[in-house]
Structure 1
């Protein structure tokens, strides 16, 4: 069945491409635009590094939480639910500050206590850079959202599939690995992709810690040359290029998965 949005001509993309070309033309013809692009382009690597590493960590942790929330053991389900509700209820920017200035020093202090017990030299909290504190915070925050996506996808798999695998003598791990997870993955790929796009945008929050991503470099550049219009146009263009490009790729993958299920 053809989805309604698949029949619509993407006028939104035409308008967006036109705006992008307008900004790009400004970059080519204006020295201030070129200076802003040269400065902000240095933050692309940090933005992608934070987004990819944090999302991978959140995916692993979220899958573990989803399995815990579906466990037959009540205490595992309660621990998973407690974690998910707390992380979903705290704003990401607050969590970033908490992890950076409360949790990270606490972890270093605990590590030093363990090292002292074995007669080893203590480590400095400065060794735990703000970049990796930000990655840890985003991992913890997004793991709660991804846990719900994984849980919903696992529960959406027909119970008869599990019963058939059990009848074949597969162990619980084999049933999960070879039967449940592959089918659930097709269902959860679109929302996972949407959350990765959101992760790229939310990675701009790490600027509050001074991490030199695109947002932080835009703030520094604009406060130096006072060219806020040009600087933030370039910043918006860089973020839009990454998020819209990724969204289009995910739409193609989703369409292929739908055609694969229909065949």
Structure 2
């Protein structure tokens, strides 16, 4: 008499999970792996071939300058762009029109032209006006009932003797880049602020919040999550456009490469290294921005899957 063995059920494969796995594999950054392997292969193949070791050392000295200029200029642009975005929401007609004029005018000027203008035209003019004002302050006296006579001789002397050459070209370039990007960042801020629903603003007003409290506690925290990825992408653009400071003699990556290539006529090797250096920097930042976007959108991705 045979005993029937219990039937073993084979678990069925969920086709939906299989499709999700295939979709994730197809979306993986395989291009990044290929590009990283090519960069590593190139670096290993030329690291001991003349003149690449010398070029790498020369360009490496400009990496710190490039990163420093980009960080400082972008930090200033972030603050200035936020101020401009908030002023564009002002109910004052004159303030709105003046700030809008600033944004449209700056956005219509190429970054290189603006860097030249700030470094060679605007800043020298401001220094010249400061010299004239300093000469007037040297002989100016302010008489107050309690404090007596106040002189501005020391301040006037400093302003009168201040020279254009005292303003480093790196700071001139930073001012130009900051003003150029502040106009674009203000539009990103404005889009993020407007993404917050009007109902939340009305609810905050009904609770007795002031306009500043509503902006600080309700609008800006939500807008920050929206504008964070575009701000990261704009920093990558700022890093690349920081090469424009080389036209003012700032010793960044591009300028270091130009100097070495002009003295040795090894343009092919030098600009291979310059391009590779910028590519590594921008790819690293792009990967960081992608990671940040994935972290912010992980909830939406689960719903889509």
TM-score under structure 1 length normalisation: 0.94
Contact map agreement 1:26 1:33 (CA 8 A) in 2: no
Which has the larger helix fraction?
1
* 2:162 paired with 1:138: no
Give the match's secondary structure for 1:29: coil
Q: Which structure would you say has the larger RCO, counting Cα contacts within 8 Å and 6 or more residues apart?
A: 1
Partner residue of 2:103 out of 59, 84, 96: 84
Query: What is the aligned partner in structure 2 of residue 35 from structure 1?
Result: 54
Deviations 1:83-128 (A, max 9, x none): 1111111111111111111001011112222322221222011111
RMSD: 1.8
Distance of 1:176 and 1:62 partners within structure 2: 16
Query: What is the aligned partner in structure 1 of residue 226 from structure 2?
Result: 187
Query: What is the aligned partner in structure 1 of residue 44 from structure 2?
Result: 25
Distance of 1:5 and 1:152 partners within structure 2: 30
* 2:237 paired with 1:237: no
- The residue correspondences of 1:34-73 to structure 2 (distance < 5 A) are 34-73=53-92
Partner residue of 2:120 out of 88, 98, 101: 101
Give the match's secondary structure for 2:51: helix
Give the match's secondary structure for 1:31: coil
Q: 1:198, CA displacement in angstroms?
A: 0.1
Give the match's secondary structure for 1:90: coil
Deviations 1:168-195 (A, max 9, x none): 2222111111111110011011111111
Q: 1:260, CA displacement in angstroms?
A: 5.2
Distance of 1:138 and 1:85 partners within structure 2: 16
Asked which structure has the greater CA Rg, the reply is 2
* 2:192 paired with 1:173: no
Seen in structure 2, the aligned counterparts of structure 1 residues 69 and 99 have a Cα distance that, compared at 3 Å, is same
Contact map agreement 1:210 1:216 (CA 8 A) in 2: yes
Q: 1:7, CA displacement in angstroms?
A: 4.7
Seen in structure 2, the aligned counterparts of structure 1 residues 81 and 7 have a Cα distance that, compared at 3 Å, is farther
Distance of 2:80 and 2:116 partners within structure 1: 21
* 2:244 paired with 1:225: no
Distance of 1:141 and 1:72 partners within structure 2: 25
Q: 1:55, CA displacement in angstroms?
A: 0.5
Give the match's secondary structure for 2:297: helix
**Count of equivalent residues:** 261
Q: Name structure 2 gaps, 5 residues minimum.
A: 1-19, 139-155
Distance of 1:228 and 1:16 partners within structure 2: 23
